[in-house]
Amino acid sequence: MSIPFGAHIPFVAHLGFSLETFEGGESELHFAPRPEHLNSFDVTHGGAVMTFLDVIMATAARSVDPEMGVVTIEMKTTFMRPAQVPAGQHLVGKGHLKHRTRSMAFTEGSVFDAQGQLCAHAT
């Protein structure tokens, strides 16, 4: 069962992310890439994966204070393997808030394929 994001984000709705966990500095989201989200190698486009990571980390940051919004000022992403999922399955994203100040949040996020293999990681 998907949890409402709490903020209307048209691009997230367009991509079809679902928020599954949103509490205590932790988040989990699901993403079932459609054909229009793939690259020329028939795997999830890196830009879609980075958008997924951005939202994973933002929701982890917001989970301790949902009323406080966040914007990304810097993001480092490492791709380990193609983010590929069979039809009817989804990628799983997990976010963790490492530290939060009044104006900054330091987070990390990971994307896993349907077999639980790490595909990408970001801070």
Q: How far is CA 2 from CA 27, 35, 84, in A?
A: 12, 22, 22
Determine which helix (DSSP H) or strand (DSSP E) holds 53, and give its type and residue range.
helix 46-62
> Which pLDDT band, with edges at 50, 70 and 90, does 102 fall under?
confident
pLDDT score, position 62:
93
Greatest extent of the chain over all pairs of C-alpha atoms, in Å:
42
Q: Is the pLDDT of residue 1 over 60?
A: no
Check residues 6 and 89 and name the one with the higher pLDDT.
89
> Which pLDDT band, with edges at 50, 70 and 90, does 60 fall under?
very high
pLDDT score, position 8:
81
Q: What is the average pLDDT value for the chain, to the nearest integer?
A: 93
> Which pLDDT band, with edges at 50, 70 and 90, does 75 fall under?
very high
- Residue 5: count of CB within 10 angstroms of its CB: 19
Q: Is the pLDDT of residue 2 over 80?
A: no
What's the pLDDT tens digit per position in 23-58?
999 999 999 999 999 999 999 999 999 999 999 999
Are 10 and 28 in contact, with CB atoms under 8 Å apart? no
